[in-house]
Amino acid sequence: MAWKRLCGIFDLPVRGGRVFMDVADDLDLIIFRVEGGNVIAYDAACPHAGALLRPENEMGGVLVCYIHHWRFKVDTGECLDVPQCPLIRYPAQIKGFDVMVDPDNPLT
């Protein structure tokens, strides 16, 4: 694993998300700071047609793609509309005050 510092924990909104562009080659990540203080990272490209997912389109733990409105569970990445197309998750953790990700080793 090649952990990489993405930002400080205070750079993420509480119970919200943020997109980080070009974290690695052709990879943008959408990071959510969730209940309990954990962070969850996904490929920010929608698995349907690649639209950039927007954290402001999250409500009640469900993220909605603004193009064709597929819905994803923030805590698992599951697609509620097409279950065989979940978000691609990446390892993410908080270390001290830093948000760390491993963009080379997708989990799903």
| Dihedral (CA of 74, 75, 78, 81) sign | negative
Q: At its nearest, how many Å lie between ligand FES and the CB of residue 23?
A: 20
Q: Which is nearer to ligand FES, 61 or 91 (CB)?
A: 61
Q: At its nearest, how many Å lie between ligand FES and the CB of residue 58?
A: 14
Residues at the site binding ligand FES, with contacts judged by CB under 6 A: 46, 48-49, 51, 65, 67-68, 70
Q: At its nearest, how many Å lie between ligand FES and the CB of residue 35?
A: 25
Structure tokens at 37: 């203080």
DSSP string of 40-63, one letter each residue: EEEESB-TTT-PBP-GGGEETTEE
Q: Which is nearer to ligand FES, 31 or 65 (CB)?
A: 65
